[in-house]
A and B are shown apart, each in its own frame.
Chain A
Amino acid sequence: MTQPTGAQPTGDPSTQPVSTSVPPSRAPLAQDTLAAVQAALGAEHAAAWVYGLVSAFLPASFDKPIGDGAQAHRAQRDTTERLLGASGATPAPAEPAYLPPKPVTNQASALELVIGAEQDCAVAWRAVLERTDDADVRTTAALALTESAVRATRWRKAAGITPLTPALPGQP
């Protein structure tokens, strides 16, 4: 799991996402659901950051999957922030930086990190599935879990890592 470095976010309250100033347009999320969705948002923030980092260590042949993955995580982050904002919650901001579990020094360690980031997202979204009864949140979580699992499999193929996929992605 990619950990925040512990540095404080630089944003002040006036620069919080716009969505929080919008009146809630849906029922508040239950406490356990809210915590799980915030954790999944944290995993998406971390994944977006990881894609930015690994691009420096991977050859140009990886530009397309890096771009696609980064875009997908930004889109998922925005969707999740809108969901939280519409429920009257304040989306947790991204950390300024994250600490990879292992130093990234070359192509192999970069691939390992990006696969780990996708796995973290899959685990976080499966946890959301188990902590909500809301059909919309379930659908969002199931799609995010599936997309992260598929991207992880693509990266394992590219890296030549087997098995290419666990039987049950997102199962901790």
Chain B
Amino acid sequence: MSTTGSLTRRALLLATSAAAGLVGAAGLAACTPTAAAPPPPDPLAELEARALADAALARGLALVPDLAAKATVVAEARTEHARVLRAEMDRERPPKPSSSSSAATTTTQAAPTPPTDPPAAAQALLDGLTKARQEAVDVVARLPRYRAGLVGSVAAGCASLLEVLA
């Protein structure tokens, strides 16, 4: 009776320690960073890059007196597009504290310079907005719902900005 009890207790202790070891190993495995490939780039990143490029171009054109009013509308709207796209990317995949994307965005806005060839720059802006609208329409069918609404409004915004410049 007592032998059986001692065996049982030993067995129980062994089983418990083994289980604890397993749990410990499982816990370690869960905490260890997996050596998987980095996640694919966010599909909104390309739209954001184009918005920032258009905004920079438009800020330069806004220094040309004849184009100032229209170019300012484009610069402000495309800056807003970049901001909301970045906010959505950061919401879904929060940035590491060390990599401050908002700081990077701010530095790119420094000191616009007037274009050396305003007609060519104006054409480049039209081309950029046309491509941006098309890219947004192309990607809209493949996005989660909330993003589809956002990107649809970006496409409509680009189309409207083309009408502003027309």
Which A residues lie at the B interface, using CB under 8 A?
A: 122, 125-127, 129-133, 135, 138-139, 141-143, 145-146, 148-150, 152-154, 157, 163-171
Known: A165-B160, A168-B157. A127 touches B149 (CB 8 A): yes
A165 to chain B: closest residue by CB = B160
Measured in the bound complex, the distance between the Cα atoms of B159 and A150 in whole Å is 6
Asked if B156 and A169 make an inter-chain contact with CB atoms under 8 angstroms apart, the answer reads yes
Known: A167-B81, A168-B157. A129 touches B163 (CB 8 A): no
SS of B interface (majority): helix
Q: Does B141 contact A (CB under 8 A)?
A: yes
A136 to chain B: closest residue by CB = B141
Asked if A169 and B160 make an inter-chain contact with CB atoms under 8 angstroms apart, the answer reads yes
CB distance from B133 to the nearest CB of A (A): 7
Q: How many A-B residue pairs have CB under 8 A?
A: 99
Which B residues lie at the A interface, using CB under 8 A?
A: 73, 76-77, 80-81, 84, 133, 136-137, 140-142, 145-146, 148-150, 152-157, 159-164
Asked if A153 and B160 make an inter-chain contact with CB atoms under 8 angstroms apart, the answer reads yes
Asked if A149 and B157 make an inter-chain contact with CB atoms under 8 angstroms apart, the answer reads yes
User: What are 9 A-B residue pairs whose CB atoms fall within 8 Å in the complex?
Assistant: A129-B152, A130-B146, A138-B141, A142-B156, A145-B155, A146-B152, A166-B157, A167-B80, A169-B160
Measured in the bound complex, the distance between the Cα atoms of B150 and A135 in whole Å is 16
Find chain A residues with CB under 8 A from B77 CB. 165, 167
Measured in the bound complex, the distance between the Cα atoms of B140 and A71 in whole Å is 26
Q: Which of B84, B148, B161 contacts A129 (CB 8 A)?
A: B148
Asked if B140 and A138 make an inter-chain contact with CB atoms under 8 angstroms apart, the answer reads yes
Asked if A165 and B149 make an inter-chain contact with CB atoms under 8 angstroms apart, the answer reads no
Find chain B residues with CB under 8 A from A142 CB. 136-137, 140-141, 152, 155-156
Find chain A residues with CB under 8 A from B159 CB. 146, 149-150
CB distance from A12 to the nearest CB of B (A): 37
Q: Which of A135, A149, A163 contacts B73 (CB 8 A)?
A: A163
Asked if A149 and B145 make an inter-chain contact with CB atoms under 8 angstroms apart, the answer reads no
Find chain A residues with CB under 8 A from B155 CB. 142, 145-146
Asked if B157 and A139 make an inter-chain contact with CB atoms under 8 angstroms apart, the answer reads no
Find chain B residues with CB under 8 A from A133 CB. 145
CB distance from B109 to the nearest CB of A (A): 16
Interface centre among B80, B150, B160 (most CB of A within 10 A): B160
Interface centre among A131, A132, A148, A170 (most CB of B within 10 A): A170
Measured in the bound complex, the distance between the Cα atoms of B153 and A169 in whole Å is 5
Interface centre among B77, B133, B136, B148 (most CB of A within 10 A): B148
Measured in the bound complex, the distance between the Cα atoms of B51 and A81 in whole Å is 35
Find chain B residues with CB under 8 A from A127 CB. 149
Asked if B145 and A139 make an inter-chain contact with CB atoms under 8 angstroms apart, the answer reads no
B79 to chain A: closest residue by CB = A167
- 7 more A-B contacts (CB under 8 A) besides A142-B136, A170-B152? A129-B145, A133-B145, A138-B140, A139-B137, A153-B160, A165-B160, A168-B84
A131 to chain B: closest residue by CB = B145
Asked if A146 and B145 make an inter-chain contact with CB atoms under 8 angstroms apart, the answer reads no
Interface centre among A122, A133, A165 (most CB of B within 10 A): A165
Find chain A residues with CB under 8 A from B146 CB. 130
Measured in the bound complex, the distance between the Cα atoms of B6 and A18 in whole Å is 85
